[in-house]
Amino acid sequence: MPRQHTDEHVYYSEEGMPLFWTWIEDSPYENYDRLFKLYAAHGVRGIQFKGSVPAIEKVIPVAQKYNIDLYVWWWVMNQPEVAKQHPEWLDVNAEGFSLSEKKAYVDHYKFLNPAIDDVRNELYRQVKYICQLDGIKGVSLDFARYVDVILPVKLQPKYGIVQDRVYPQWDYGYHPVAIEKFRTLHGYDPRMLPDPSLDEQWLSFRLEQVAECVKGIAEIVRDNQLKICASPFPTPSVAKHLVMQDWQSWQLDFYLPMVYYKFYNQTTDWVYVTTQENVLAVQPASVITAIYVEDILQDEVDVRTMIRNVMDSGSSGLAFFGIPDPGFLNALATFRKK
């Protein structure tokens, strides 16, 4: 659909990508015409939407009406519905407990193990189905990782835990299929080591299993002439350490790293430093730094200044998670590229 207004270019990069993005999870109580109209009027032209196929089909014409690029927000390894049908696919920690036996942090954490061929085939089946939705611009990956080995430091007190190192109850990837696959490749069982979490080959193997899944998914998405992006942890180094996620190796079209600075007891300056790091890590792919609205509002951050600083640090735009207030939206609407 052609752009409706000649001045709409101000909300897009030189490559034609939206500058401002957000995530929305389907709700039966939401008026999407009202919401999409509000966002579009304030320059938010990239929306990642999570919902059932009928829900996505319902919002596609609304997105088109307001010239919004609609991406399907898709949870990759964390699949609660699939886990109900195939509990044998659920991941296992270093203590030997499956997520079907013992939860990790919250009930909805139902991570499948990426080394299992049947898991990969199910993921590929799902994404092929998603790609048949006429009117979407692409697929946005979330939870393309393992269970948190270590939570962001601010979140640990919420669960009454201290994670000053890797502990076996939070260390996942030990599904028997993964262990056997690793043993075939490397000739030993990592569980026999004094501390498997310190073994570089075992860590690399687990990173590669997720990366192989992501690359297989990306091939399907691109074969359907769609774009693929992801919302990874804030930097490649932090992602590897906290959730065994090597997003630097994925080779996607663009990334929206979740630089939620207060989760890590940092200041807004950290947002700009990490943006520079991320841009260098994945170039020539684009980076669109993502922020957590609640923290921005609590800290009374000047949103216009933040947008400028983020983009001066190399970001191709700004993404936000949460519900913005009018001041936040007005800052987006009045921002102009240099």
- Asked if the model's pLDDT at residue 336 lies above 90, the reply is no
On whether the CB atoms of residues 110 and 199 are closer than 8 A, the answer is: no
Q: Which residues of 218-240 are buried (b: 16+ CB within 10 A; e: fewer)?
A: bebbbebebbbbbbbbbbbebbb
CA distance 253 to 78: 22
Residue 133 CA neighbour count, 13 Å, CB half: 27
Quick one: average pLDDT of 213-227?
Answer: 99
- Asked if the model's pLDDT at residue 130 lies above 60, the reply is yes
For the segment 162-184, what is each residue's pLDDT rounded down to a tens digit? 999 999 999 999 999 999 999 99
Q: What pLDDT does 6 receive?
A: 43
**Exposed/middle/buried for 7, CB within 10 Å: 0-12, 13-18, 19+?**
exposed
Mean pLDDT of all residues in the chain? 96
Q: What pLDDT does 2 receive?
A: 38
- Asked if the model's pLDDT at residue 5 lies above 50, the reply is no
Those residues whose C-beta lies under 8 Å from the C-beta of residue 218, and which sit 6 or more positions away, are 228, 250, 251, 252
- The CATH number of the domain covering residues in 9-86+117-150+210-334: 3.20.20.80
- Asked if the model's pLDDT at residue 135 lies above 60, the reply is yes
- 18 pLDDT tier (thresholds 50, 70, 90): very high
CA distance 146 to 150: 11
**Residue 94: strand pairing partners:** none
- 14 pLDDT tier (thresholds 50, 70, 90): confident
Quick one: average pLDDT of 149-165?
Answer: 97
Quick one: average pLDDT of 203-219?
Answer: 99
- 4 pLDDT tier (thresholds 50, 70, 90): very low
- Asked if the model's pLDDT at residue 337 lies above 90, the reply is no
Q: What is the DSSP string of 226-243?
A: -EEEE---SSHHHHHHHH
Q: Tokens 């509002």 sit at which residue?
A: 297
CA distance 96 to 83: 18
- Whether the pTM exceeds 0.85: the reply is yes
- Asked if the model's pLDDT at residue 186 lies above 50, the reply is yes
Q: Tokens 């752009």 sit at which residue?
A: 3
Those residues whose C-beta lies under 8 Å from the C-beta of residue 251, and which sit 6 or more positions away, are 215, 218, 285
Centre a 10 Å sphere on the Cβ of residue 6 and count the other Cβ atoms it contains: 6
Map out the domains of the chain as residue ranges.
Answer: 9-86+117-150+210-334
On whether the CB atoms of residues 247 and 281 are closer than 8 A, the answer is: no
- 7 pLDDT tier (thresholds 50, 70, 90): low
CA distance 130 to 132: 5
CA distance 139 to 149: 26
Quick one: average pLDDT of 210-221?
Answer: 99
Helices (H), 164-286: 176-186, 200-223, 236-243, 268-282
- Asked if the model's pLDDT at residue 1 lies above 70, the reply is no
For the segment 42-58, what is each residue's pLDDT rounded down to a tens digit? 999 999 999 999 999 99
Quick one: average pLDDT of 230-247?
Answer: 98
For the segment 302-322, what is each residue's pLDDT rounded down to a tens digit? 999 999 999 999 999 999 999
If we measure between CA atoms, which residue out of 299, 307, 298, 309 comes closest to residue 331? 307
- Asked if the model's pLDDT at residue 15 lies above 90, the reply is no
- Asked if the model's pLDDT at residue 286 lies above 70, the reply is yes
